[in-house]
Amino acid sequence: MTQHSFRNRVSPRLTFAALGVMALTAGSAFAAPAGQTANVVGPEDASKPISVTVWLNPHNKAALDTAVEQMYDSSSPSYHRFLTLKQFNEQYAPTDKEAGTVRDYLTAHNMKVTSTEKNNRFVVAQGNVAAAQTAFNTKINKVMVNGVMHHTNATPATVTGAASALVATVQGLSDLRYKSMAKPAVNPETRVPYAGVSISSAGPDGLFFSADCLRPPESHTFKTDGSFPEAFYAGNRYGADITNTAPNKPPCGYDANEIQTAYGLKQLYKKGLDGTGQTIVIVDAFGSNSILHDANLFSQLNGLPALTPQNFQIVTPTGPVTCTATNGCISGNWQFETTLDVEWAHAIAPNANIVLVLTVDDLLTNLDLGDLAAIGNQYGNVISNSFGLSEIALKELDPAELVVENGIAQIAAALGISLNVSSGDDGDQLISNNADFGINAVSVNANADTPFATGIGGTSTFLDSKNDIKLQTGWGLNVAFLTTPAPNAPLVPPTFLGFQDGSGGGTSVVYAKPKFQKSLKGKFRQVPDISMNADPQTGSEIVVSPDGNPANVTVEVFGGTSLACPMFSGLWAIANQAAGGGPIGEAAPILYELPDKAIIDVNLSPVDTLLNVSGLIIDPPKAPIFESQTDLAQPLQNTKLFVSALYNSVSSTRWDLFTFGTDSSLVTGPGWDNVTGLGTPNGTTFINQVVKAVQ
pLDDT tens track for 493-529: 999 999 999 999 999 999 999 999 999 999 999 999 9
pLDDT band at residue 38 using 50, 70 and 90 as cut-offs: low
pLDDT at position 31: 29
pLDDT at position 582: 82
Q: How many helices (H) and strands (E) does the chain have?
A: 16, 33
The rounded percent of the chain whose pLDDT value lies above 70 is: 94
Distance CA 213, CA 533 (A): 13
pLDDT at position 276: 98
pLDDT band at residue 181 using 50, 70 and 90 as cut-offs: very high
Average the pLDDT over 58-83 and give the result: 95
**Contact (Cβ atoms closer than 8 angstroms) between residue 240 and residue 251:** yes
- Burial pattern 109-148, b for ≥16 Cβ within 10 A else e, equals bebebeebbebbbbbbbbbbbbbbbebbebebbbbebeee
The rounded percent of the chain whose pLDDT value lies above 90 is: 84
Left if phi > 0, otherwise alpha if psi is -120 to 50, otherwise beta: which for 585?
Answer: left
Is 80 exceeded by the pLDDT of residue 19?
no
Neighbours of 218 (CB within 10 A): 14
Of 363, 357, 333, nearest to 345 by C-alpha is: 357
pLDDT at position 535: 98
Q: Nearest-5° angle of CA 381, CA 384, CA 386? A: 170
Instruction: Please tell me what DSSP assigns to residue 382.
Output: E
**Contact (Cβ atoms closer than 8 angstroms) between residue 480 and residue 494:** yes
Average the pLDDT over 194-218 and give the result: 87
Contacts of 25 (CB under 8 A, 6+ apart): none
Per the prediction, the chain carries an average pLDDT of 92
Span 672-690, pLDDT tens digits: 999 999 999 999 999 999 9
pLDDT at position 248: 53
Distance CA 522, CA 663 (A): 21
Average the pLDDT over 205-210 and give the result: 81
Span 428-464, pLDDT tens digits: 999 888 888 888 899 999 999 999 999 999 999 999 9
Q: Which of 24 and 646 is assigned the larger pLDDT?
A: 646
Residue 180: exposure state from Cβ atoms within 10 A (0-12, 13-18, ≥19):
buried
Which of 19-33, 98-112, 361-375 has the lowest average pLDDT? Answer: 19-33
Q: Nearest-5° angle of CA 194, CA 199, CA 204? A: 115
Neighbours of 621 (CB within 10 A): 5
Strands (DSSP E) found in 386-539: 387-390, 418-422, 445-446, 454-463, 469-474, 476-483, 490-502, 506-512, 524-527, 530-533
pLDDT at position 247: 52
pLDDT at position 176: 93
Is 60 exceeded by the pLDDT of residue 577?
yes
pLDDT at position 438: 83
Average the pLDDT over 350-359 and give the result: 98
Is 90 exceeded by the pLDDT of residue 9?
no
Order across the sheet with 445-446: list the strands. Answer: 179-180, 387-390, 445-446
Is 60 exceeded by the pLDDT of residue 28?
no
Average the pLDDT over 407-416 and give the result: 96
Is 70 exceeded by the pLDDT of residue 474?
yes
What DSSP line would sit under 668-691, residue for residue? --SSSBTTTBT-EE-HHHHHHHHH
pLDDT band at residue 336 using 50, 70 and 90 as cut-offs: very high
pLDDT at position 250: 81
Span 238-276, pLDDT tens digits: 998 887 655 557 889 999 999 999 999 999 999 999 999
pLDDT band at residue 23 using 50, 70 and 90 as cut-offs: very low
Average the pLDDT over 122-144 and give the result: 96
pLDDT band at residue 148 using 50, 70 and 90 as cut-offs: confident
pLDDT band at residue 392 using 50, 70 and 90 as cut-offs: very high
